[in-house]
Amino acid sequence: MIPSNIKALILDMDGVIWKSDAPIGDLPAIFKRIRERGLKFVFATNNGTKTPEEYQKRLADLGVEIDKEQVVTSAMGVAFMLSKKFPKGAKIFVIGENGIRVALENDGFEVLSVENAPQAQVFVMGIDRDVNFQKVAEATLLVRAGIPFYATNTDKTFPTPRGEIPGAGAWLSVIITATSVEPIVAGKPFPYLMELSLEKLGTSKAETLVVGDRLETDIAAGQSVGCPTALVLSGVSTKAQADQWKPGIDLIADDLAALVK
């Protein structure tokens, strides 16, 4: 199904590779096929909760060996954006999980606990499965005081085998409502993760296919940088929604296995 001029794939993960803990299809066979076709690939995910090493291990547990350099997360995107604007050692209050914390610390930033949040020079928000009122209150006070507000991604929901649960965007909306301030966002549909992925792949936009399950993030991001796009129907967006999407999507497949067949 993939045209012969395509040399590389930028793959989303949630809804393409797995849904929560459940792999979508026979992953070892799918990646054997991708390698047989000589396609390079990176994973670009708006999910900033895990580190590249954690994704590498998770894929290895599912029978797919990759290099950690093949993973680009929205947490890495935020850390990169901040490293261009703020000095090393800048104090950052984070609502988020391990992925964002490690990415910021790797770039030399100091991640504050909620008790020390009033010292923050920057506030960063991603999905945090231990979010609570105290964290949200501190974040609101910071943003209302004019502290710069960054976010990993704005995905409204997150796919699980039982259906969709609140994503980072849903939690962000609490801070946005309480402050009337919009964050600066690293993840898809903003182009940054695509640009970082293209840099890692070394392929041109025309020969790099962006694959995802969500129109308003994956497909929009691919189209915004001028890459061909493929929607898989194994996640969030439906065929009916895809048919309405403008500009048109290059390929639509039931899942990744069908796409690479």
Residue 221 in contact with residue 227, Cβ under 8 Å?
no
Residue number closest to Mg ion, CB atom: 15
Residues taking part in catalysis: 12, 14
Minimum CB separation of residue 27 from Mg ion in Å reads 15
Tell me: does residue 14 bind Mg ion (CB under 5 A).
yes
Token pair for residue 60? 């290895």
Among 6, 10, 15, 124, binds Mg ion (CB under 5 A): 15
Map the footprint of Mg ion across residues 59-118, applying CB under 5 A. Answer: none
From residue 188 to residue 227, the character string flagging contacts with Mg ion as x (rule: CB under 5 A) and all else as - is -------------------------x--------------
* Candidate ranges 112-120, 190-198, 231-239, 240-248; the one touching Mg ion (CB under 5 A): 231-239
CA distance 15 to 232: 8
Nearer to Mg ion, 213 or 250 (CB): 213
Structure tokens at 89: 């050692």
Q: How far is the CB of 255 from Mg ion (least distance, A)?
A: 12
- To Mg ion, the closest distance from the beta carbon of 75 in angstroms equals 16
Listing DSSP states for 90-124 in one string gives -EEEEES-HHHHHHHHHTTPEEEPGGGGGG-SEEE
Task: Determine contact, residues 231/212, Cβ cutoff 8 Å.
Answer: yes
Q: Nearer Cβ to Mg ion, position 126 or 235?
A: 235
Q: Provide, rounded to whole angstroms, the least separation between the CB of residue 188 and Mg ion.
A: 9
Q: Which residues contact 242 (CB under 8 A, 6 or more apart)?
A: 215, 231, 233, 249, 252
Pick the piece of the chain touching Mg ion (CB under 5 A) from 26-34, 63-71, 124-132, 229-237: 229-237
Q: Does position 255 bind Mg ion by CB under 5 A?
A: no
Q: Which is nearer to Mg ion, 14 or 255 (CB)?
A: 14
Q: Which of 2, 9, 11, 12 binds Mg ion (CB under 5 A)?
A: 12
| DSSP annotation of 18 | E
Is residue 96 within 8 A of residue 51, CB to CB? The reply is: no
Q: Interface with Mg ion includes 228 (CB under 5 A)?
A: no
What b-and-e string marks burial along 230-256, b requiring 16 or more CB atoms within 10 Å of the CB? bbbbbbbbeeeeeeebeeebbbbbebb
Cβ–Cβ under 8 Å, residues 227 and 210: yes
CB of 213 to Mg ion, least distance (A): 4
Q: Which is nearer to Mg ion, 104 or 211 (CB)?
A: 211
Which parts of this chain interact with Mg ion (CB under 5 A)? 12, 14-15, 213, 235
